[in-house]
């Protein structure tokens, strides 16, 4: 049983003076974000969010602009106080921490990457990266060594002594990532960390990041508005709309069983080749009539890409095995439907 | 969101987009209240015009003028056109019943009377057998003068008609302008109301109408009367303060002024005695700063001080400023102003030092607390706008005369910029950067030290620079309350109207000020470039 690191229960955040009335109206009448704005002058940031993130998981939060992703994540380290609900981090209720404990929690356990970089313009890149350690009271030589290492991770060797303004937007964002990694926190909060990067370095960082997190067992809340990215690195994905989490699930879940039209629209353009696994499209062995002599075999965990490789060499269906036992077959029509997105 | 998707679904060329008249109508109706239909029609005409010239005419606004503006809550227009219409009305009044020829006709009448008198005397002389020619001549002359006066009077009277006509035309012109621009101005008000329903007035309010009518009744007749009648009531020429005082005090001699002045004098004396300990310790504190600086500047041998100043100028602001500094110092030394100049520098330096030491923390506090800033803002305004002469008096009362009170006066004038610009700088630190520091666990002090102060530094330095300049400008004024230095030289020259010494001393002050300014500016510029 893995330990739960972040636990968010029934968190609401409504900006504005009449938030209590607004929440009541939402609960009683089920009115949406636009009506709340019109009627109460309040902006719904987050509406009744509940989820848990176990240790080592990359939990992606995705949604369109203004859907409340940043607002939700800011609650985790209490940059924002919730209107109601509780947030537990490493087993402690963050809204009950006193200032000192809260600062200690932020300094020792949480790293954050900001959507708008938020680097200190008067400090060198190295000193920016070292800042979390400085707050923690680490001595200078150690600080510098650590930050140089972190900068190496994000491929910024040679820029240590530059000022942030001398770097491009993407490079600045990498400095932000290095800064979050430098303090070696257990929990990473990343607010669209890769969105200003070019596709190549982005892909590279995504892979690196995934490996890093897996190795260091860091728990991550990762905001993105790019479903491809969420699928690539997320163990689970939460999809937000107008402050509401409309669906939480594994990438495969989300792609194969979108909970509503909003999610379906997102998912449409996604390539299913690496996502959809054989077990979700197979036909049970019992119902298949026909010869399977010489048919190729694949494990139930094989993705569509692999299945296609098996299928191209033969007219027969692919036999799917589980623990060495045949459990079903994937026929050509099923394979093609699977590529389309699992429609029957 | 839903809208986005809709517009994404049906792509329409910009030229084909239909204006949503109904929605706009409803909103304008809500804004305008009574007469909503009229305004929605006219606003839409304004919206659909592209030229500069107004394409609507509001008869109600033209006829009612300022009262319409007030009823619709456009107070700027109310006051502006009230004043303009008053000008026109005064002209009309002058032309209508003000009879500008009256004084001439009066004079002509008198002259005719005198002429008649002389003719009588001429008659009398003739009866006596004397020569009447002298009197006849006089009478004729006076008659001529009377004719001239009458002609002038007639001219003035006919001018009255021109004034009347001019007044009417001006009024019509103003009315026309109001008529043409009323809807455009009201439309501007509507646009800002859309952004801010709360603080922008909308609708037609009875309260406003009453207020504006009362204002017009109070202002217009009196003003027109005062300007048009030849000898208006005495009361309107000057405020009847003696009579009013008499009502309050029922005594002939004492006025409100004398009473209040006497009372204040007593209170100030009492306060000065009561707080003597506090005031003395402030004076002592200021004096110790001044003494330290004086010792450094005057106690140190002059060649050393000169050399240090030149080197500082060189390092801070480059060779050109250094050469200028050297030349200025030579001027000061050769004319025998050295010691007294150093006293001025010490005075300014002490004032600046105290301003910075107190002003920067205050500025930081005001930058972080909106409420503290709002409370302090009027005080800061007062410190900067009060003419120095006004607070010299209480300073003398509480702190006596001499250099320390002079420094205090300088501080009052010089401190606001550093406070203001520090708080401006602190408030201007971008929120995300502060948030990042907080997210990494920075305490309030760490936030201040690592983020707020460094990012506010350019602004703070501008503030310090301005404070220095303000303090320099007080150099002469403080000599009025016994401050020393070059200001005293100027003051003495002024008292004896000694032109030569005054001019030489003035140049000495100018050079001191320029040297300080150049060095500081140069230093800050270097800092900026870093
Ligand atoms: N301080 C605030 N005061 C009032 N409303 C706010 C505040 N911060 C955020 N909001 C509102 O909350 C909603 C969610 O904002 P949020 O920044 O969380 O969006 P997001 O999902 O991060 O969008 P993006 O992808 O553009 O960053 C928005 O409607 C925004 O207007
Ligand atoms: Mg965001």
According to CATH, what is the number of the domain A55-81+94-267?
A: 3.40.50.300
| pLDDT at residue number B530 | 57
As beta bridge partners, residue A190 has A113, A222
For residue B7, is pLDDT > 70? no
Give the pLDDT confidence of B294-303 residue by residue, as tens digits: 999 888 899 9
pLDDT, tens digit, 9 for 90 and up, residues A28-79: 888 888 888 888 888 889 998 999 999 989 999 998 888 999 999 999 999 9
Give the 3-state secondary structure percentages of chain A, helix then strand then coil, rounded to 5. 40, 25, 35
| B269-328: pLDDT as tens digits | 888 888 888 999 999 999 999 999 999 988 889 999 999 999 999 998 889 999 999 999
Q: Which atom of ligand 1 is nearest to the CA of A225?
A: 25
Which of A130-139, A195-204, B314-323, B490-499 has the lowest average pLDDT? A195-204
| Cα→Cα distances B382→B95, B100, B379, Å | 46, 47, 5
What is the percent of chain B where pLDDT is above 70? 96
Top mean-pLDDT range of A154-158, B16-20, B100-104: A154-158
Identify the pLDDT of residue B253. Answer: 72
pLDDT(B1) > 60: no
Is the model's pLDDT at B2 over the cut of 70? no
Q: What confidence tens digit (pLDDT) does each residue in B357-384 have?
A: 999 999 999 999 989 999 999 999 998 8
* Confidence band of B176 (pLDDT split at 50, 70, 90): very high
| Closest to B350 in 3D by CA, of B291, B420, B304 | B291
**B432–A114 C-beta distance less than 8 A:** yes
What residues have CB less than 8 Å from A159, skipping those under 6 apart?
A125, A151, A166, A167, A171
3-state SS, residue A13: strand
- Residue whose Cα lies nearest atom 27 of ligand 1: it is A65
What are the b/e assignments for A231-265, b being 16+ CB within 10 Å? bbbbbbbbbbbbbbbbbbbebbbbbbebeeebbee
The pLDDT of residue B276 is 87
Q: Is the pLDDT of residue B5 over 50?
A: no
Say how far apart CA B456 and CA B435 lie, in whole Å: 16
Long-range contacts formed by A162-167: CB under 8 A, 24+ apart:
A162/A124, A162/A125, A163/A121, A163/A122, A163/A123, A163/A124, A163/A125, A164/A117, A164/A119, A164/A120, A164/A121, A164/A123, A164/A125, A164/A128, A165/A121, A167/A125
Question: Rounded distance, CA B270 to CA A268, Å?
Answer: 86
Q: Considering the entire predicted model, what is its pTM?
A: 0.72
- Is the dihedral angle over the CA atoms A167, A173, A176, A180 positive or is it negative? negative
Of A77, A119, A242, nearest to B439 by CB-CB distance is: A77
Domain positions in chain A: 55-81+94-267, 278-340
For residue B479, the Cα-to-chain-centroid distance in whole angstroms is 27
- Give the helix ranges, DSSP H, for B400-498: 403-427, 431-439, 444-447, 453-473, 486-495
Mean pLDDT of chain B: 87
- Best residue in A77, A103, A268 for a mutation probing chain B (most B CBs within 10 Å): A103
Alpha helix (H) ranges present in A217-303? 227-233, 251-256, 261-268
For range B448-459, the mean pLDDT? 92
Segment A208-237 shows an average pLDDT of 87
Asked whether residue B452 carries a pLDDT value surpassing 50, the answer given is yes
Tokens of A151: 């900068």
Spatial distance between the Cα atoms of B187 and B181, rounded to a whole number of angstroms: 10
Q: Quick one: which of A8, A3, A50, A56 has its CA closest to A234?
A: A56
Which SS3 state, helix, strand or coil, does residue A284 take? strand
Report the candidate in A290, A258, A281 with the shortest Cα–Cα distance to residue A330. A281
Other residues' Cβ atoms within 10 Å of the Cβ of residue B94: 21
> Binning pLDDT at 50, 70 and 90, where does residue A341 land?
low
Q: Which pLDDT belongs to residue B380?
A: 92
And the tokens for B391?
A: 């607070």
- Give the Cα separation of B234 and B148 in Å (integer): 32
Residue identified by tokens 């001191």 is B512
- Give yes or no for a contact between A14 and A41, defined as CB atoms under 8 angstroms apart: no
In this structure, chain B runs to a length of 530
- Higher pLDDT, residue A277 or A72: A72
- Specify whether the CB–CB gap between A297 and A318 falls below 8 A: yes
Least confident of B102-106, B171-175, B401-405: B102-106
The pLDDT assigned to A238 comes to: 94
Q: Which string of DSSP letters, residue by residue, matches A126-174?
A: HHHHHHHHHHHT--HHHHHHHHHHHHHHTT-TT-TTS-GGGS-HHHHHH
ipTM, interface predicted TM-score of the complex: 0.83
Per-residue tokens: A217: 């067992």
Q: Which residues does chain A have within 8 Å of residue B454's beta carbon, measured at their own beta carbons?
A: 120, 122
What percent of chain A is modeled with pLDDT above 90? 36
Rounded to whole angstroms, the maximal C-alpha distance in chain B is 124
Q: Binning pLDDT at 50, 70 and 90, where does residue A344 land?
A: very low
> Are residues B432 and A122, on separate chains, in Cβ contact within 8 Å?
no
pLDDT at residue A325, as a whole number: 84
pLDDT at B344 over 90: yes
CB B347 within 8 A of CB B478: yes
B5, B439, B454, B458: best to mutate for the A interface, most A CBs within 10 A: B439
pLDDT of residue A324: 81
A64 CB neighbours in chain B (<8 A) are 1
Is A132–B446 a contact, with Cβ atoms under 8 angstroms apart? no
pLDDT score at B230: 65
Q: What is the largest CA-CA distance in chain A?
A: 73
Over residues B169-185, the mean pLDDT reads 92
Residues of B in contact with A34 (CB under 8 A): 2
Instruction: For residue A45, give the 3-state DSSP assignment.
Output: strand
Tokens 């993407």, residue located: A170
Report pLDDT for B309: 93
Contacts of A189 in chain B (CB under 8 A): 439
Query: Are the C-beta atoms of A224 and A230 separated by less than 8 Å?
Result: yes
Interface of A with B in 173-192 (CB under 8 A): 179, 183, 189
| pLDDT tens-digit readout, B242-256 | 778 777 777 767 788
Which residue from B minimizes the CA distance to A132?
B440
Confidence of residue B352 (pLDDT cuts 50, 70, 90): very high
Tell me if A45 CB under 6 Å of ligand 1.
yes
| Nearest C-alpha in A relative to B1 | A242
CA A16 to chain centre: 28
Pocket test for ligand 1, best of A36, A38, A64, A67 (most atoms within 8 A of CB): A67
**Three-state secondary structure call for residue A49:** strand
- pLDDT category at B12 given cuts 50, 70, 90 is confident
Confidence of residue B3 (pLDDT cuts 50, 70, 90): very low
Average pLDDT over residues B441-458: 92
A276-280, A339-343, B55-59: range with highest mean pLDDT = B55-59
pLDDT tens, residue by residue, B181-214: 999 999 999 999 988 888 888 888 889 999 999 9
CATH of domain A278-340: 3.90.1280.20
Confidence of residue B223 (pLDDT cuts 50, 70, 90): confident
B174-179 average pLDDT score: 93
Tokens of A172: 């600045």
Decide: A154 in ligand 1 pocket, CB within 6 A: no
- Rounded to a whole number of angstroms, the distance from the CA of B201 to the nearest CA of chain A is 19
Distance CA B135, CA A154 (A): 119
Residues whose CB is less than 8 angstroms from the CB of residue A65 and which lie 6 or more positions away in sequence, other chains included: A225
At A342, the pLDDT band (50, 70, 90 cuts) reads low
For A308-334, letters b (16+ CB in 10 Å) and e give eebbeeeebbbbbbeeeeebbbbbeeb
Instruction: Compute the average pLDDT of residues B16-44.
Output: 85
Confidence category of residue B467, pLDDT binned at 50, 70, 90: very high
pLDDT at B92 (0 to 100): 87
pLDDT at A231 over 50: yes
**pLDDT given for residue A1 in this prediction:** 52
What phi, psi does A176 have (nearest 5°)? -60, -40
* pLDDT tens profile B77-86: 999 999 999 8
Supply the residue whose CA is at minimum distance from atom 6 of ligand 1.
Answer: A15
User: What is the tens place of the pLDDT at every residue in A128-180?
Assistant: 999 999 998 889 999 999 999 989 888 889 998 999 999 988 889 889 989 99
The structure tokens listed for A169 are 């937007």
**Interface of chain B against chain A, CB under 8 Å?**
1-2, 430, 432-433, 435-443, 446, 450-451, 454-455, 457
Candidate from A79, A136, A241 with C-beta closest to B438: A79
Rg (CA), chain A: 23
pLDDT at A270: 76
Helix-strand-coil percent breakdown of chain B, rounded to 5?
A: 85, 0, 15
Which among B1, B433, B441 has CB closest to A120?
B433
- Give the lowest-confidence range in A256-260, B8-12, B270-274, B303-307: B8-12
- Under 8 Å CB-to-CB from A283, ≥6 apart: which residues? A328, A329, A330, A331, A334
């Amino acid at each position: 049983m893995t330990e739960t690191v972040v636990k968010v229960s029934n968190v609401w955040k409504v900006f504005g003076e009449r938030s209590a009335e607004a929440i009541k109206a939402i609960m009683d009448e089920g009115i949406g974000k636009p009506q709340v704005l019109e009627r109460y002058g309040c902006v719904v940031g987050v509406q009744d969010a509940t989820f848990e993130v176990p240790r080592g998981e990359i939990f992606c939060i995705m949604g369109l602009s203004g859907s409340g992703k940043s607002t939700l994540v800011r609650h985790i380290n209490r940059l924002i106080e919730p209107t109601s609900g509780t947030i537990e981090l490493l087993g402690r209720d963050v809204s009950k921490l006193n200032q000192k404990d809260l600062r200690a929690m932020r300094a020792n356990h949480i790293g954050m990457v900001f959507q708008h970089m938020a680097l200190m313009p008067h400090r060198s890149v190295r000193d920016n990266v070292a800042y979390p350690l400085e707050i923690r009271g680490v001595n200078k030589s150690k600080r510098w060594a650590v930050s140089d290492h972190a900068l190496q991770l994000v491929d910024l060797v040679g820029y240590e002594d530059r000022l942030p303004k001398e770097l491009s937007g993407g490079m600045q964002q990498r400095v932000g990532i290095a800064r979050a990694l430098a303090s070696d926190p257990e929990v990473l909060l990343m607010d669209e960390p890769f969105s200003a990067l070019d596709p190549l370095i982005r892909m590279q960082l995504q892979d690196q990041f995934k490996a890093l997190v897996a190795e260091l067992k860091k728990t991550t809340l990762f905001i993105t508005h790019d479903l491809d990215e969420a699928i690539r690195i997320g163990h689970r994905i939460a999809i937000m709309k107008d402050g509401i989490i409309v669906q939480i699930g594994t990438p495969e879940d989300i792609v194969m069983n979108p909970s509503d039209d909003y999610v379906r629209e997102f998912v449409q353009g996604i390539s299913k080749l690496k996502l959809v696994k054989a077990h979700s499209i197979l036909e049970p062995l019992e119902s298949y009539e026909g010869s399977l002599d010489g048919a190729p075999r694949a494990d139930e965990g094989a993705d569509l890409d692999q299945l296609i490789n098996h299928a191209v060499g033969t007219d027969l269906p692919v036999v799917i095995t589980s623990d060495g036992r045949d459990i079903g077959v994937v026929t050509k029509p099923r394979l093609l439907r699977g590529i389309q997105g699992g429609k029957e | 969101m839903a809208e986005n998707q809709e517009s994404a679904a049906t792509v329409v060329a910009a030229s084909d987009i239909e204006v949503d008249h109904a929605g706009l109508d409803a909103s304008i109706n809500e804004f305008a209240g009574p007469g909503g239909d009229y305004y929605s029609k006219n606003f839409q005409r304004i919206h659909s015009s592209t030229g500069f010239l107004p394409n609507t005419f509001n008869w109600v606004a033209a006829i009612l003028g300022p009262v319409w503006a007030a009823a619709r809550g456009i107070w700027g227009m109310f006051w502006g056109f009230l004043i303009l219409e008053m000008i026109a009305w005064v002209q009309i009044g002058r032309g209508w019943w003000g009879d500008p020829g009256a004084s001439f006709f009066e004079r002509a009448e008198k002259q005719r009377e005198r002429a008649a008198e002389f003719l009588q005397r001429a008659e009398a002389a003739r009866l006596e057998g004397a020569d009447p020619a002298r009197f006849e001549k006089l009478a004729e002359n006076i008659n001529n003068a009377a004719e001239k006066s009458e002609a002038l009077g007639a001219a003035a009277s006919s001018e009255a008609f021109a004034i009347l006509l001019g007044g009417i035309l001006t009024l019509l012109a103003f009315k026309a302008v109001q008529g043409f621009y009323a809807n455009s101005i009201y439309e501007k008000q509507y646009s800002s109301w859309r952004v801010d329903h709360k603080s922008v007035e909308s609708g037609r309010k009875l309260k406003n109408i009453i207020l504006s009518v009362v204002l017009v009744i109070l202002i217009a007749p009196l003003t027109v009367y005062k300007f048009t009648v030849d000898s208006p009531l005495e009361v309107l020429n000057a405020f009847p303060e003696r009579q009013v005082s008499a009502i309050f005090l029922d005594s002939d001699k004492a006025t409100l002024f004398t009473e209040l002045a006497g009372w204040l004098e007593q209170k100030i004396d009492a306060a000065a005695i009561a707080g003597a300990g506090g005031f003395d310790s402030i004076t002592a504190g200021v004096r110790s700063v001044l003494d330290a600086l004086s010792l450094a500047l005057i106690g140190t041998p002059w060649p050393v001080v000169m050399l240090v100043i030149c080197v500082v100028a060189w390092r801070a602001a480059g060779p050109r400023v250094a050469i200028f500094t050297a030349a200025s110092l030579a001027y000061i030394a050769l004319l025998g102003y050295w010691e007294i100049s150093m006293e001025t520098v010490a005075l300014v330096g002490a004032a600046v030092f105290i301003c910075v030491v107190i002003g920067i923390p205050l500025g930081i506090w005001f930058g972080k607390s909106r409420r503290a800033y709002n409370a302090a803002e009027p005080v800061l305004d007062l410190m900067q706008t009060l003419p120095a002469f006004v607070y010299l008096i209480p300073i003398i009362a509480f702190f006596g005369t001499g250099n320390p009170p002079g420094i205090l006066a300088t501080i009052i004038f010089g401190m606001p910029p550093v406070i203001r610009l520090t708080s401006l700088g602190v408030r201007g630190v971008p929120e995300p950067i502060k948030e990042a520091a907080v997210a990494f666990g920075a305490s309030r002090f760490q936030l201040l030290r690592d983020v707020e102060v460094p990012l506010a530094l350019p602004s703070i330095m501008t503030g310090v620079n301005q404070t220095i300049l303000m303090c320099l400008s007080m150099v002469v004024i403080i000599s009025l309350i016994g401050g020393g230095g070059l200001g005293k030289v100027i003051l003495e020259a002024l008292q004896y109207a000694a032109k030569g010494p005054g001019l030489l001393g003035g140049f000495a002050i100018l050079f001191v000020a320029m040297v300080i300014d150049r060095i500081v500016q140069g230093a800050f510029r270097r800092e900026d470039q870093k």
